[in-house]
Amino acid sequence: MKHFTLNGEIRQKGNKAVIKAFRRQGLVPCNLYGAGMDNILFTVSEKELKGLTHTPASYIVDLNLDGKVYTAVAHEYQWHPVDDNCLHVDFLSVDEKKPIVIAVPLNITGHPVGVQAGGKFTQSARKLKVCALMKDLPDQLDIDVTPLELDKRMVAGDLQFEGLKIVSDRNTIICSVKTTRAMQQAAAEAAKAAKE
């Protein structure tokens, strides 16, 4: 999986006024935590952070905090309900020797047989959460939807990948092919004609 370098400045715990002042300066308050370490509070540039938030890709994040680099994954984002600005990020420290849980984008390939028969293809999920060692994490999960027939769907439980475990709910719908109204109408008309 690709790495993304993010520079931050360590900060002290502050009240709401301090946090608001950071945001006015175009800084996003963040928190880094993980097993066997103290929480680290820091700020990053909102502009730099967009390289991480405004992309479908997933990254291992190399956090450069006052000259010391920590390897982490973005664990949780808080967004402004109206402006859609990122208000806060929690980063989880990771280790290449321990499995990491991260959401990985899906790359749909193939042309479903159900679509060739006239159905409509719908993709319901864009990412799935997986668990793997850092070295085994892919940039994306390639999913071939060619065998998908009419009125069938593919769920997370149907998928298997070498070297990683899917931890999203087994029933998460990835994609489906549905019969279109035109097809239903044509079938109804054909049935009606057959009766006459």
Best CA proximity match to 51, nearest among 103, 93, 86, 97: 86
Is the pLDDT score of 186 beyond 80?
Answer: no
How far apart (Å, rounded) are the C-alpha atoms in residues 156 and 166?
7
Is the pLDDT score of 167 beyond 90?
Answer: yes
Residues 102-185, CATH architecture: Beta Complex (2.170)
* Topology, domain 3-94: Ribosomal Protein L25; Chain P (2.40.240)
Res 155: pLDDT: 96
Domain regions of the chain by residue span = 3-94, 102-185
Res 35: pLDDT: 78
8 A C-beta contact, residue 65 and residue 42: yes
How far apart (Å, rounded) are the C-alpha atoms in residues 183 and 178?
10
How far apart (Å, rounded) are the C-alpha atoms in residues 77 and 85?
10
Res 190: pLDDT: 76
- pLDDT tens for 98-148 read 999 999 999 999 999 999 988 999 999 999 999 999 999 999 999 999 999
- pLDDT tens for 45-100 read 999 999 999 999 999 999 999 999 999 999 999 998 888 889 999 999 999 899 99
Is the pLDDT score of 19 beyond 90?
Answer: no
Res 193: pLDDT: 80
Res 106: pLDDT: 96
8 A C-beta contact, residue 43 and residue 29: yes
